[in-house]
Amino acid sequence: MIIGGFEAFTLMDFPGRVAAVIFTQGCNFRCPFCHNGSLLPMEPNPDTLIPEEDVFRLLEERRGKLDGVMLSGGEPTLQPDLPDFLRRLRAMDFDTGLETNGSRPEVIAALLGEGLLDFVAMDIKAPLETYDKLSGVRAPVERIRESIELIAAGGIEHEFRTTVVEALLSPEDIVAIEKLVPDGSPHKLQKFVPANALAPKLREAH
């Protein structure tokens, strides 16, 4: 797997667990508010990447101290060897979590079907009719809708998340987003931190 970053310890990213976070390299969105711009290119400078075996060595050293490992990015579902990676984590007795933009429901369905995940967090970035503006691309909104339904019905712990970018989202937009969240599923509103936003205008506005 192509790994662009590794955080050895977090109490925030994987609810209820002491966890590590693995940041996969490459994303199919270009959200103007993204704060992980270095992780967007699919083919970055190889010197910036972390060898997979180095990550597993670090995780082996932390067995018994960590409860789980969260896969973030970038967009992890773009990685063709994601299932194998998760199988290896589970063989080490780690709980596994996934953060996703929901653009690849077929991958999410396969991972849920094989029981490779304990937790999924999915971003819902905007009302579906204005998703292009918040994703920075021609957004696959029906696939996003499908992912929301899959995750909500997946039988595992999950939450939907929205970063509240006031320059791009109105209070009415937030209400519309909340209507996309299935009954019984948690929805977390996250504060926008502009310092490293991909779009310079969003950085300059603060």
What structural domains does the chain harbor? 3-204 (3.20.20.70)
Q: CB under 8 Å to 54, separation ≥6 — which residues?
A: none
Q: Which tens digit of pLDDT belongs to each residue from 18-41?
A: 999 999 999 999 999 999 999 999
Distance CA 76, CA 105 (A): 12
- Residue 205's pLDDT band, with cuts at 50, 70 and 90, is low
pLDDT in tens, 177-196: 999 999 999 999 999 999 88
pTM for the model stands at 0.94
Alpha-carbon span 24 to 100, nearest angstrom:
11
Look at residue 84 and tell me whether its pLDDT is greater than 70.
yes
- pLDDT at position 204 is 74
Q: Cα(151)–Cα(58) distance, rounded to whole angstroms?
A: 30
Q: Tell me, what's the pLDDT at 66?
A: 97
